[in-house]
A and B are shown apart, each in its own frame.
Chain A
Amino acid sequence: MRRRDVDTAVRHAALTFGAAIALMPLLWMVSASFMAPGEASTLPLRALPRRPTLEHYATLFTRLDLARHFLNSVVVTLAATLGSLLVTSLAGYGFAKLRFRGRDAMFRALALALVVPGQVGMLPLFLLLRELGLVNSYLGAMLPFFGSVYAIFLIRQYALSVPDDLLDAARIDGAGELRIFATIVLPLIKPILVTLAAYTFMAAWNDFLWPLIILSDSAKYTLPVALASLVGEHVQDTELMMAGAVVTVLPALGVFLAIQRHYVRGIMAGSVKG
């Protein structure tokens, strides 16, 4: 064999080994979720269930009412994504293309916030939302996503490429700024909006700390909070917990596979100019 072929073979072997490690926890999760109670904690270990059962999924959706938490998560995630897109696309375009006093200074101040993790403000934010009566509300859970500085930043970078002549021509024709935004700008910046939608959706869907803090009534828990509280009571029920993990992991994986292209582009866009 030529040296090049050896290199290619070793490379593929390493890639396959890596893929096995990346997938193993997920495959075991799926397999164990179909096992009978206690089967995952029996020696010798089994790779596949002896007699596959759906009983854990039934328990989750009947006795443990996981559908409710699923719905909570869907509501919070969708509203957080849409609200964030609306607010940040307006602002990102405004900072890129509209001329007004103090614009650049304000934007630089905003960019500073990129390095401060939001968790630092969570205690006062909790007290603030408590004053506003938003503790234990869906609105409270989604609010921190609306004014994402990161999203404003990405949209501004993208909107800078919109030609000024196009906007000025529309202005001379008498179009208002909002109309220009809706009919000319939005179609042009659509790619970055799709990317950010994917990104925000994933971030909101998987978020744990903030909903854990702000949602006190278990009926309002989003999926990760509900699951974390479930594992406290059912730590011995391996197979049940694996079914719960499957229900929370697979939808996000499905969405990811569908929108992979946009999501990946967002990560790369963010890294080009941090």
Chain B
Amino acid sequence: MSTILQRRQARAAWLFVGPALALVTAFFLVPVLGGLALSLTDFDLYAIGAPGTARWVGLRNYAEALRNPVFWQAARNTLYFVLVGGPLSVAVSLAAALLLNARTVRLRGLFRTIYFAPVVTMLVSVAIVWRYLLHPRYGLINHGLEAVGLPGVDWLGDPHWAMPAIVLLSVWKNFGYNMLIFLAGLGSIPGELYEAAAIDGASAARRFRHITLPGLAPVFLFVGVTTMIGNFQLFAEPYVMTQGGPLGATRTLMLLTYEEGFRWWRMGVASALAALLLLITLAGALAQTRLKGGRW
């Protein structure tokens, strides 16, 4: 190809990638970096009217956050959701995928659609529905528990049970998504491996341990990391169901950031919280990648 054509193509290329690069820079890159800068200032309600009044305060916002018991409570709540809710959700997704992934299953498409339906529901709406399902007297969940002889629980009113209740909702809402990814992963494991193992007399448990699990390793890494990143951002469920209560038991780092930034307009403090959350999220994702020995 001649150099004239090449040059013309290079010029045209900017027309193609230019708008996207400009948008990503203006509305993603600059805000993320700007957030780091903002976290080093005392930007507050007054500064919104007159940005010149904001001053550099160094790492003061970070130091204050780390001294504040509310921050640590929110960090604990967030970690609980990540470490309990995440694995539970992945386990349910895997179980559903394994159940569906047999040639003998009838109405497979129907089951798959039903399991996936909660994923496409609006989070705010189903959080409201679950608020009523979890009602101590009139909620279906307590009635179900009592029907099998278990005591009912004041789910959203008891600080010990509020976070588990949110985990339940989130597992119900999200497991269908990872289930699909596991199904795709299961489908990519060559059938000959299973046939060969069956001929050699390997039990179902051994086939699962030595063929299915290794075959799914890359999928586990992907599902684990994306689920974790998403779970660190937990916000709408506690916002709608508990407003962070009772006694702060469901206040997550994201909810705390929102309250500081958009309720009290302490944007410097909120930016420091957001930066800390990003740091924890990246550390978690990295740790998981290293742990599972994968490349990202």
Contact = CB atoms under 8 A, between A and B. Distances in A.
Interface of A: 4, 7-8, 11-12, 14-15, 18-19, 21-26, 28-29, 32, 40-43, 45, 87-88, 90-91, 93-95, 98-101, 103, 106, 110, 113, 115-128, 130, 143-144, 146-147, 149, 152, 168, 171, 176-178, 181, 202, 205-206, 208-209, 213, 223-225, 227-228, 231, 238, 241-242, 244-245, 248-249, 252-253, 256-257, 260, 263-264, 267-268, 271-272, 274
A13 B38 CA distance: 55
A252 B30 CA distance: 33
Interface string B116-138: 11101111111011111101011
B270 A123 contact: yes
Given A28-B129, A124-B34, A223-B122, 6 more contacts: A18-B99, A90-B15, A118-B28, A127-B48, A231-B128, A271-B219
Contacts of A143: 23, 27
B222 interface: yes
Closest 10 pairs between A and B when the two form their complex, measured CB to CB: A121-B31, A94-B16, A147-B23, A91-B20, A124-B34, A177-B12, A98-B13, A224-B124, A245-B125, A100-B13
A179 B38 CA distance: 44
B100 A268 contact: no
A123 B277 CA distance: 14
Contacts of A177: 8-9, 12-13, 15-16
Contacts of B9: 98-100, 171, 177
Contacts of B185: 271
19 contacts: A22-B115, A22-B117, A23-B114, A42-B138, A91-B19, A101-B10, A119-B274, A124-B32, A152-B20, A205-B122, A206-B121, A209-B235, A227-B122, A228-B240, A231-B240, A238-B138, A253-B117, A260-B113, A260-B116
A178 B12 CA distance: 8
Interface hub of A14, A87, A205, A241 (most chain B Cβ within 10 A): A87
Contacts of B199: none
Interface stretch (B70-78, B158-166, B189-197, B226-234): B226-234
A125 B114 contact: no
B80 interface: no
A122 B122 contact: no
Contact of B19 (A87, A106, A209, A213): A87
B143 interface: yes
A40 B138 contact: yes
B24 A202 contact: no
Interface in B7-60: 8-10, 12-17, 19-24, 26-32, 34-35, 37-38, 48
B256 interface: no
A213 B14 CA distance: 33
A117 B262 contact: no
Interface hub of A41, A117, A228 (most chain B Cβ within 10 A): A117
B5 interface: yes
Nearest to B115: A22
Nearest to A4: B104
B31 A117 contact: no
A88 B20 contact: yes
B138 A45 contact: yes
Interface hub of B31, B219, B254 (most chain A Cβ within 10 A): B31
Contacts of A18: 96, 99, 111, 115
Contacts of A124: 30-32, 34-35, 37-38, 271
Given A116-B278, A171-B5, A249 B27 contact: no
Interface stretch (B61-69, B82-90, B176-184, B206-214): B176-184
Interface of B: 1, 5-6, 8-10, 12-17, 19-24, 26-32, 34-35, 37-38, 48, 96, 99-100, 102, 104-106, 111, 113-118, 120-126, 128-133, 135, 137-138, 140, 143, 172, 176-177, 180-181, 184-185, 219, 222-223, 225-226, 229, 232-233, 235-236, 239-240, 254, 257-258, 261-262, 267, 270-271, 274-275, 277-278, 281-282, 285, 296
A41 B12 contact: no
A10 to B, nearest CB: 10
A120 B20 contact: no
A123 B236 contact: no
B19 A252 contact: no
A128 B140 CA distance: 46
Nearest to A168: B1
B269 to A, nearest CB: 10
B182 to A, nearest CB: 9
A146 to B, nearest CB: 5
A253 B120 contact: yes
A90 to B, nearest CB: 5
Contact of A117 (B12, B229, B267): B229
A122 B31 contact: yes
B265 to A, nearest CB: 10
